[in-house]
Amino acid sequence: MSAVPLARQHPVRAMVDFYVTAMRTQVQTQFQYRAAAYMYLVGMVAEPVIYLVVWTTIAKQQGGEVQGITVGQFAAYYIVWTLVRNMNIVFTPYGWEWRIREGQFSAALLRPLHPIHYDIAEFAGGKLIWVVLYLPIAAGLTLIFDPDLSVTPLEVCVFFVAIWGAYLIRTMLLWLLGMVTFWTTRGSAIFETYIMAELLLSGRLVPLKLMPEWTQSVADFLPFQWAFYFPIQTLVGDLPAGELLGGLGMQVLWIAVGSFLVWICFRASVSKYSAVGN
């Protein structure tokens, strides 16, 4: 008696199955190490709290606002910032360095799907737990810093889509950066340059409105703000519907550009691959 071949699934359905399973596995893994995830979150929350305290101090000294942004609005900006940051943490170039050096990538290359799907699915699963763990911290920050935030249902909907857009944009960007490690195991200088550029041009450091005008003009031509400033602004910026939808359009554009570049660069990079270890 011969074995019955497995029924061939529709490719889309197979992909959905893969994503759901990979995300579910990650949810369970992350939940197991929730104490570690919490400690990581505490370290991460330090960054926005510092910015918030500095700008709140300045605002209070200036009579309650800096360039039209009030103390309560700063608080809203940085509390939403933290949620967006939670969402746009992705597999880092340092992780790439490790997986190339240790030969971990060999197994990933043997699998039937493009390796980026594994990263996207696993981190997306982790997000679900991280966001749940972040909620009590957000409640604490809200009690302490008293944010000034009023949102409409449309803003909430756009925000929900925009944080996933931010996640995908940053995944593409850091994948492109990570692929540098196919050529060199000392990419850290390049990574740091990227992080610094992102810090200044994305709204991560301060609302872009507070940066010099020429910096804002430069930022308009770069993808960084669509992974930080725009998702935050969807909730705190009181943007008109046109701008909200236009922003989502820009995110789609940058995801498409990023995906195309990842596709091209991956084909070129993978031929360079030789694991240093293993």
Partner 1 sequence: MRPVRVAWTFLRLGAINELQYRLNFFVAAFQSLLAVAVALVVLRLVYSHTTELNGWSEPELMCVLGIQILLGGVIRAAIQPNMERIVDEVRDGKLDHALTKPEDSQLLVSVREFRIWRTVDVISGGAVLGVGLARLEASVGAGEALSFAGLLLVGGVLIYCFWLVLATGAFWIVHMWFLAELFEGVYATGRWPIGIYPGWLRYSLTWLIPIGFAITVPAEAVTSRLEWTTPLLALAFAAALFLVTRWFWRFGLRRYSGASA
Which residues are near partner 1 by CB under 8 A? 33, 35-37, 39-40, 42-47, 49-50, 53-54, 57-58, 61-62, 66-67, 144, 186, 188-189, 192-193, 196, 199-200, 205-206, 210-211
Is residue 161 within 8 Å of residue 84, measured between CB atoms? no
Q: How far apart are CA 74 and CA 64, in angstroms?
A: 11
Nearest-approach distance from CB 33 to partner 1, in angstroms: 5
At residue 44, the 3 state secondary structure works out as: helix
| Encoded tokens for 140 | 């604490």
Nearer residue to partner 1 within complex by CB, 24 or 186: 186
| Encoded tokens for 272 | 């360079």
Nearer residue to partner 1 within complex by CB, 118 or 194: 194
Nearer residue to partner 1 within complex by CB, 44 or 250: 44
- For the chain, helix (H) and strand (E) counts, in that order, are 12, 2
Nearest-approach distance from CB 56 to partner 1, in angstroms: 9
Q: E strand or H helix at 69, and its extent?
A: strand 69-70
Nearer residue to partner 1 within complex by CB, 15 or 49: 49
Q: How far apart are CA 266 and CA 108, in angstroms?
A: 13
CB within 8 Å of 267: residues ≥ 6 apart: none
Nearer residue to partner 1 within complex by CB, 152 or 217: 217
Nearest-approach distance from CB 167 to partner 1, in angstroms: 19
Nearest-approach distance from CB 249 to partner 1, in angstroms: 30
Q: How far apart are CA 159 and CA 54, in angstroms?
A: 26
Nearest-approach distance from CB 160 to partner 1, in angstroms: 27
| Encoded tokens for 174 | 């850091």
